[in-house]
Amino acid sequence: MSRVAAFWDRAAPGSALAVRDTEVAARSHEIVLQSVGAHDLKDFDAAFVAMKRNGAGAVIVVPSSAFFAVYQRIADLALTHRLPSVGGAKEYADAAGLMGYGADFELVINLKTAKALGLTIPPSLLARADQVIE
């Protein structure tokens, strides 16, 4: 995968900083990071359409207190647009995102979502997960 979208909350100053750090990490792995900000729910559909139109192969959901309440909607859009997604909290995987990996370093993988996307999660990654949702 060479192109990944970072979906972030334009209203949260910390999200912009996290995207900047993510861009640095992406470049070091020769990944093009597409920055896609949203302000509220009405922006979400267009944001995911833009991700796909611009060739994103996956999406990173940048942590935000506003996004926490709508993880289910974000995960649904990622699945609808066939974008594997990872969010910045274990609750993101609970809401049907593919993976959640939080500041507490807890990794949660949702195998139901992986199956819906037609993905096989390597056993080595499953072994490292703190929780696997089946």
CATH, residue 117: 3.40.50.2300
134 residues of the chain, pLDDT tens digit each:
899 999 999 999 889 999 999 999 999 999 999 999 998 899 999 999 999 999 999 999 998 888 989 999 999 999 999 999 999 899 999 999 999 998 889 999 999 999 999 999 999 999 999 999 99
**pTM recorded for the entire structure:** 0.91
CA distances to 60, 96, 98, 114, 121 from 19, rounded to whole Å, are: 10, 23, 20, 25, 26
Q: Which amino acid is at 113?
A: T
Structure tokens belonging to residue 6: 């970072």
Give the domain extent around 89: 3-133
The count of structural domains within the chain is 1
